[in-house]
Amino acid sequence: MTLDMAKRDTVSPDNRPPVLEIEDLNLSYFTRAGEIPAVIDFSLTVRQGEAVGLVGESGCGKSTVANAIMRYLGHNGRIVGGTVKFKGRDMATLSEEELRQLRGSEIAMVYQEPMAALNPSLTIETQLCEVPLYHEPGCTPEMAYRRALDMLAAVKLPDPERVLRAYPHQISGGQQQRVVIAMALLSEPALLLLDEPTTALDVTVEAGIVELIAELSERFGTSILYISHNLGLILETCDRVCVMYSGEVHEEGTVSELFENPRHPYTRGLFGCIPTPGTDKNARPLTPIRGQLPLPHERPDGCNFGPRCDHFDAASCGGGMIQMRDVNPATGHRARCSRWQEIDWSVDTVAADARPPQAIGDVVLKSGEMQKYYPIFDRSLAALIRGRSVRYVKANESLSFEAREGQTVAIVGESGCGKSTFAKVLMGLETATGGELSFNDVDISELPVQRRTPQQLGSLQMVFQNPNDTLNPSMSVGGQIARVIRKFNVESDPVKIEERVLRLLDLVKLPRDFARRRPRQLSGGQKQRIGIARAFAGNPAMVVADEPVSALDVSVQAAVTGLLMDIQREFGTTLLFISHDLGVVRYLADRVVVMYLGRIMEQGATDQVFSPPYHPYTEALLSAVPIADTRVEKKRIILEGQLPSVLNPPKGCPFHTRCHRKIGAICEEETPPNAVDSEGHTIFCHIPMAELRSVEPVIKTAAE
């Protein structure tokens, strides 16, 4: 992060020609419900070589802005006011033909899903060479090939010749996204639009792409508009940032100014919701923004953020549209808040009360050398002849750890590490192939869900990841909770069941009349709360939460995690929290288990895992996670190579193919020992503990 810091401060706003100027843009979608304004009064200037971040929660209109720049608005979207100028030309006046010339050559776009941007039936070479061949008259195929090769090297793809010959499915997701970025850069565009380019990627892969993006504007002089919901990523890649809320820009300024001195209650609220190294679930809990994003056709009169704002004042915020106001005209820091001068910004946001730590009881769950293999049957003739017709995916390999009553244990790892498989075995949706898994002293590793007693089922419940999937869309919310109560024999009298449903709704802080609603009438955060109510309806001793907040917006995330912890505290429930987000894990877990390719790499108390000695994989993970705090300094470790296939994991230490601290042949041949210290901190590595202990911490917070 230090690398861009110096550059940022030297940016003075007026010395470079603007590439993109958007002025007072108003954009609406016309639907069954009438005109829905998606973007209101939006102004933005991107200068040559500048990287501007556009950040906001889902539905705030950030992608609509990007589409408006390209003039891709679909059949029902229309610009109803304002102008979009690219290099001084008004985009609205261009003909379709001129637009086509512009798209891809002057303005290029990179989307979230790399696979959707690449044609699966053409080689990378064909797709890359097409760009210069189409846009530059006089370009020969040989020149195009050379250009494609150079560009792939520039986006740091190893072995570009091989990549050029490959089809998109033959390379990994991170490599695909690099190819898409290369394709976008091939025509030397003046403006590159990046719409959540790393959201679909794993965090260690994301780190590499982010580093690449951060260098792009410098190396190619390309202007960048970077759209993301993640403030940490914006901090690592951009010079300036625009914060959008409900179709409007609510604050804009340079990255350092906006992150250090936000002057809009929403921006400040957002920072209060993001777990950073300074927050702690007991001493310094996160402060969620209350309420939820207004629907586009139900925006309040006056300030859109008004109903959720602690500084709302009917006289100054209540009527009419709030204009953008200059905070610091010299740097272009502006905020859409009529009270920004009256609010005392030095006072910390209303910090939620510190809570006493949760009492930890006896061991509830004990996993002893648990393993889960999935057989893969190869029915080809060759396999039959070789006598190797069955291979195994080792989804979980000798997992050993414990969880105690009232404790929050987090399992962290990237996709394919086996964390969800473990949850399935625990819930009885799959059975283990070996080892033991005892819950309340009963081995349940080979007990499928059909053979568990209602009591066992009720005491072990789950909160799911996807809010849109967690509830049955054709059943009322109350009916779904009531079903659980009946099923686990908590109550049998209909009146009492109903009463309990309403009490559970109180518990998850939702209005009681939600019982009659259908899931589609609820927002993502509300659905997730119902999912939590449903999990707690049977008085469980342990709740497994599989990425319960990763699909939610940050402001809602904080509220849902807070709620989960409050309920856990009230009932003394053990929480197994499965996540890929180290920020959230650090914030709420008591113990952390780090997994990679089905094995536990490191486990220990949260503080132990987040400070040296680290397992090299934990170290790389920590360094990859973007942190939305300018005071934090991180060591940069970019993992080389791609995640090996679980079908064919590396011999010896599974991490040796990507490890930056590999010590030699021993890593490739021998399974590492589990080094345990006196407090139960275990590291699965050949490197001696003493050496790991001397490693410099990944995250340093600048002293204030």
Partner 1 sequence: MTDRTVDAPAPRRQSPLIGALKAALLLRESIVGTVGALIILFWVFVALFAGLLAPYDPIAQMTPFQAPFATDADGNFFLLGTDHLGRDVLSRIIFGAQRVLIYAPLATFSAYAVGIVMGLLAGYKRGWVDDVLSRVSDIILSFPILVLYVVIITTFGASAINIVLAVTFASGPGIMRIVRGLVLDLRNRDYVAAAQTRGESMWYIMFVEILPNARGPLIVDACLRLGYTTITIGVLGFLGLGLPPPQPDWGGMINETRAMATFAPHMTVFPCIAISSLVLGLNLLADGMREVSLRD
Within 10 angstroms of residue 396's Cβ, the number of other Cβ atoms is: 29
Spacing of C-alpha 573 from chain mean position: 26
Cβ–Cβ < 8 Å for 625, 617? no
Residues whose CB falls within 8 Å of the CB of residue 273, separated by 6 or more in sequence, listed in order: 286, 287, 288, 289, 554, 555, 557, 558
- What's the closest the beta carbon of residue 567 comes to partner 1, in angstroms? 17
- What's the closest the beta carbon of residue 456 comes to partner 1, in angstroms? 9
Which span (161-169, 389-397, 507-515, 569-577) binds partner 1, by CB under 8 A?
A: 507-515
Give the containing element (helix H, strand E) for 426.
helix 419-427
**Is 501 one of the binding residues for partner 1 (CB under 8 A)?**
yes
Within 10 angstroms of residue 646's Cβ, the number of other Cβ atoms is: 19
Spacing of C-alpha 491 from chain mean position: 39
Sheet holding 674-676, edge to edge: 460-463, 542-546, 574-579, 408-412, 591-596, 599-605, 682-684, 674-676
> What is residue 535's DSSP assignment?
H
- What's the closest the beta carbon of residue 153 comes to partner 1, in angstroms? 40
Beta carbon nearer to partner 1, 125 or 546: 546
Size of the chain, expressed as the number of residues it contains: 704
Determine the Cα–Cα distance for residues 559 and 548; give it in Å rounded to an integer: 12
- What's the closest the beta carbon of residue 564 comes to partner 1, in angstroms? 16
Please list every residue from 413 through 442 that binds partner 1, using CB under 8 A.
427-429
**Is 444 one of the binding residues for partner 1 (CB under 8 A)?**
no
Beta carbon nearer to partner 1, 69 or 515: 515
Determine the Cα–Cα distance for residues 21 and 694; give it in Å rounded to an integer: 51
Give the containing element (helix H, strand E) for 570.
helix 554-571
The correct pick among 300, 368, 434, 479 for binding partner 1 (CB under 8 A) is: 479
Determine the Cα–Cα distance for residues 606 and 589; give it in Å rounded to an integer: 6
**Is 454 one of the binding residues for partner 1 (CB under 8 A)?**
yes
Which span (95-103, 385-393, 475-483, 678-686) binds partner 1, by CB under 8 A?
A: 475-483
**Is 466 one of the binding residues for partner 1 (CB under 8 A)?**
yes
**Is 465 one of the binding residues for partner 1 (CB under 8 A)?**
yes
**Is 282 one of the binding residues for partner 1 (CB under 8 A)?**
no
Which span (43-51, 331-339, 343-351, 460-468) binds partner 1, by CB under 8 A?
A: 460-468
Which span (213-221, 265-273, 367-375, 466-474) binds partner 1, by CB under 8 A?
A: 466-474
Q: Would you call 605 helix, strand, or coil by DSSP?
A: strand
**Is 378 one of the binding residues for partner 1 (CB under 8 A)?**
no
Give 402's strand partners.
366
Q: Residue 597: what residue type?
A: L
Binding residues for partner 1, rule CB under 8 A, total 45
- What's the closest the beta carbon of residue 511 comes to partner 1, in angstroms? 10
- What's the closest the beta carbon of residue 432 comes to partner 1, in angstroms? 16
**Is 492 one of the binding residues for partner 1 (CB under 8 A)?**
no
Determine the Cα–Cα distance for residues 366 and 84; give it in Å rounded to an integer: 60
**Is 474 one of the binding residues for partner 1 (CB under 8 A)?**
yes
**Is 32 one of the binding residues for partner 1 (CB under 8 A)?**
yes
Beta carbon nearer to partner 1, 32 or 379: 32
Alpha helices in 187-228 (DSSP H): 203-220
- What's the closest the beta carbon of residue 512 comes to partner 1, in angstroms? 5
Beta carbon nearer to partner 1, 359 or 429: 429
**Is 478 one of the binding residues for partner 1 (CB under 8 A)?**
yes
Which span (90-98, 127-135, 284-292, 458-466) binds partner 1, by CB under 8 A?
A: 458-466
Q: Residue 150: what residue type?
A: D
**Is 77 one of the binding residues for partner 1 (CB under 8 A)?**
no
Determine the Cα–Cα distance for residues 665 and 661; give it in Å rounded to an integer: 12
**From residue 585 to residue 624, what is the string marking binding to partner 1 with x (rule CB under 8 A)?**
----------------------------------------
Spacing of C-alpha 580 from chain mean position: 8
Determine the Cα–Cα distance for residues 143 and 182; give it in Å rounded to an integer: 16
Beta carbon nearer to partner 1, 341 or 521: 521
**Is 488 one of the binding residues for partner 1 (CB under 8 A)?**
yes
**Is 138 one of the binding residues for partner 1 (CB under 8 A)?**
no
Which span (13-21, 408-416, 476-484, 657-665) binds partner 1, by CB under 8 A?
A: 476-484
The correct pick among 268, 534, 586, 634 for binding partner 1 (CB under 8 A) is: 534
Beta carbon nearer to partner 1, 161 or 499: 499
**Shortest CA distance to 55 belongs to which of 336, 299, 243, 294?**
243
Residues whose CB falls within 8 Å of the CB of residue 100, separated by 6 or more in sequence, listed in order: none
**Is 58 one of the binding residues for partner 1 (CB under 8 A)?**
no
Cis (ω within 30 of 0) for the bond into 613?
A: yes
Please list every residue from 95 through 114 that binds partner 1, using CB under 8 A.
none
User: φ, ψ for residue 107 (rounded to 5)?
Assistant: -120, 125
Q: What is the DSSP string of 295-316?
A: PGGGPPSS-TTGGG-TT--HHH
CA separation, residue 253 to residues 145, 174, 256, 347 (Å): 41, 31, 8, 21
Q: List residues binding partner 1 (CB under 8 A).
A: 31-32, 76, 427-429, 449-450, 452, 454, 457-458, 460-462, 464-466, 469-476, 478-480, 482-484, 487-488, 498-499, 501-502, 512-513, 515-516, 531, 534, 538
